[in-house]
Amino acid sequence: MTETHLFFIRHGQTDWNQERRIQGQLDTPLNAEGLQQAQRLTALLGSNGQALAPLSQASVIYSSPLSRALQTAQPLATVLKQSITPLEPLQERHFGAIQGKTYPELEANHPVESQKINNRDPDFRPESGESLLDLRARVRGLLELLLRKHAGETVICFTHGGVLDIIYREATSTALEAKRTWAIPNAGVNHLVYTSQPAAWKVQAWAFTRHLEEDSSAPTNADF
């Protein structure tokens, strides 16, 4: 049996996160809080990181090519003395013509599109953008690529909320249309384990944010 450990980490906070503005694939940087969150990720390799011990054994670090993900990846990559490899499929969902709008603006000025997004219509594709079905196909291809290239290894990927939502659904066989009941916090760490025989996913940790707390050096009970 082969076990592959995949760590998926969401980028740190941006001003657009605070404004509830749809970032999509627009290249927005981290704000001051996001930069601090990125630095705090290095605490995962200290006493607080024992719950996520395989993280320090990563053979490769991938990142979405968008600045907010690359900036989040840099401190951890520096400590691990690893380079960062940009990987296009890790990019956020492309929201096309509605990128840059806030959710209240979308609701007020584009009520049909807003409703389709809120209802998680899998077929809805914003003008020049991706549908949930498109995004799921991309994420499935990403997971297949990682498992093929890195079977039995530990891999770190820095990515975005939309991608992480699909990853969780794939790992837990949750429908695209189902309302999300799991958190996807900025700079949260998500640890998935894939076993080859029998082929199965296990969510080892999800939305782990102990490192973001003020006293992140204190022991953790590893209760995910």
Residues tagged active-site: 11, 92
Task: List 201's β-bridge partners, or say none.
Answer: 194
What contacts 24+ positions apart, CB below 8 Å, involve 148-151? Answer: 150/4, 150/59, 150/60, 151/2, 151/4, 151/196
- Which structure tokens are listed for 170? 């794939």
- What is the distance, to the nearest Å, from the Cα of residue 199 to the centroid of all Cα atoms in its chain? 23
End-to-end alpha carbon distance in the chain: 25
- What is the distance, to the nearest Å, from the Cα of residue 100 to the centroid of all Cα atoms in its chain? 20
Instruction: Identify whether the C-beta of residue 186 lies closer than 8 Å to the C-beta of residue 177.
Output: no
Which one-letter DSSP state was computed for residue 120?
A: T
- Computed over its alpha carbons, how large is the radius of gyration of the chain? 17
* Rounded distance between C-alpha atoms, residue 128 and residue 146, angstroms: 27
Geometric angle at alpha carbon 42, from 37 and 46, rounded to 5°: 130
- What is the distance, to the nearest Å, from the Cα of residue 184 to the centroid of all Cα atoms in its chain? 8
| Residue positions counted in the chain | 224
